[in-house]
Amino acid sequence: MDALLTVKIRSMEKKDVDSVIEIEQLAYGNHHWSKDSFMGELSNELARYYSVLNEKDELIAYCGCWHILEEAHITNIAVNPKYRRKHIGELLLKTIIDDCYKDMVKFITLEVRVGNIPAINLYEKYGFKSLGTRKGYYQDNNEDALIMWTENIFYDKFKLEYEKNIRDFSGKIAYVREIS
């Protein structure tokens, strides 16, 4: 059995952006956000961006979202391909949801490629439902995006399922959270 991966998750810092761009290129090819876009996001009061670092303090994943009144919009979740299928994406999604609870954000939305079945499965596991598509949303191949939403995360139905998922998640990855 593989050793338990240990990571640190913290708020993204400007010094992370070059590594974020490297993961962007691995994850999205030539159609990715620019360095200037991420630098702008780090000064955006509505934005929350997080970095995941391995034991060597190398950035291996990141995510971002905007909190706008009672709604959060997940802008991106990306994991270095060498670290996929190790529950890091789930850790990032959990972090976003936990921060939505902390900030009293009721609804969470995102777009995901219709062909990204692992991501869709993760989002569905955490209570996201597809409420439509954006035709030709992705510029690199004109792929459609599913528009996914949660119901109110403060409703008992969502909270009970979330708590079950967190119990199941426990022990799959070791992490230290350094987010205020």
Q: CB under 8 Å to 45, separation ≥6 — which residues?
A: none
- pLDDT, mean of each 10-residue run, the chain (180 residues): 81 95 83 83 94 96 96 95 93 96 97 92 96 80 88 96 93 86
Q: Which of 83, 123, 126, 162 is catalytic?
A: 123
List the 145-149 sheet strands across, edge first.
Answer: 129-134, 145-149, 107-113, 71-79, 59-68, 47-53, 6-11, 174-178
**What's the pLDDT at 1?**
45
SS3 136: coil
- 142 to each of 55, 123, 169, how far by Cα in Å? 37, 22, 34
Cα within 13 Å of Cα(136), Cβ side: 0
**CA 178/CA 180 separation, integer angstroms:** 7
Choosing from 24, 62, 111, 162, the catalytic residue is: 111
Residue 5 tokens read as 């991966």
Instruction: Tell me the domain boundaries of the chain.
Output: 6-178
111 has catalytic annotation: yes
Q: Please tell me what DSSP assigns to residue 120.
A: H
**pTM over cut 0.75:** yes
Please indicate whether residue 124 is annotated as part of the active site.
no
β-pair type (71-79, 47-53): unpaired
| Tokens linked to 172 | 């799959």
CATH of 6-178, one of 3.40.50.20, 3.40.50.140, 3.40.50.300, 3.40.630.30: 3.40.630.30
